[in-house]
A = this chain, B = another copy of it.
């Protein structure tokens, strides 16, 4: 389900209820987590990406601003945006609590889908295993097209 050659990139669905700028944020974070984007890699410029996605530059800029706020990317004025070298996620404890809340909502949804805790447990296991495999497959050593920071 990749776009071209390497595990390329960002998807945006204008008809999705989730805002496009947030879809960009999630895409970048997903690519980082999968090892497709590595620390130091350069991102497309705001205007480049806005053309690629057929989207307003302000929307892309909003996404980049959010990514910088989360310390996922670093911005160097006049140079471009790069994946953070030594990432430090802010609000760690708060975000862990949000993860727990998400898990609680999964338990609620499981109940309404008549899933036992055992089945939910298996779902966790299955998805984590898929993830582990796709990471080993798609992770490159280095060298995309982008120069490094």
**Which one of B30, B106, B112, B132 lies within 8 Å of A72 (CB-CB)?**
B112
Question: Which label, helix, strand, loop or mixed, suits the secondary structure of the A interface?
Answer: helix
Q: Which residue of chain B has its CB nearest to the CB of A91?
A: B113
Chain B residues, CB < 8 A from A113: 89, 92, 95-96, 99
Interface residues on A, range: 35 or more
Does any Cβ of B come within 8 Å of A128's Cβ?
A: yes
Interface string of A81-103 (1 = CB under 8 A from B): 00000010100100110011011
| Bound-complex Cα distance A72 to B109 (A) | 11
Does any Cβ of B come within 8 Å of A117's Cβ?
A: yes
Which positions in A face B, CB cutoff 8 Å? 26, 29-30, 32-33, 70, 72, 87, 89, 92, 95-96, 99-100, 102-115, 117, 120-121, 123-124, 126-128, 131-132
On whether the beta carbons of B70 and A108 are closer than 8 Å, the reply is no
| Bound-complex Cα distance A142 to B67 (A) | 49
- A99 to chain B: closest CB distance in Å? 6
On whether the beta carbons of B132 and A117 are closer than 8 Å, the reply is yes
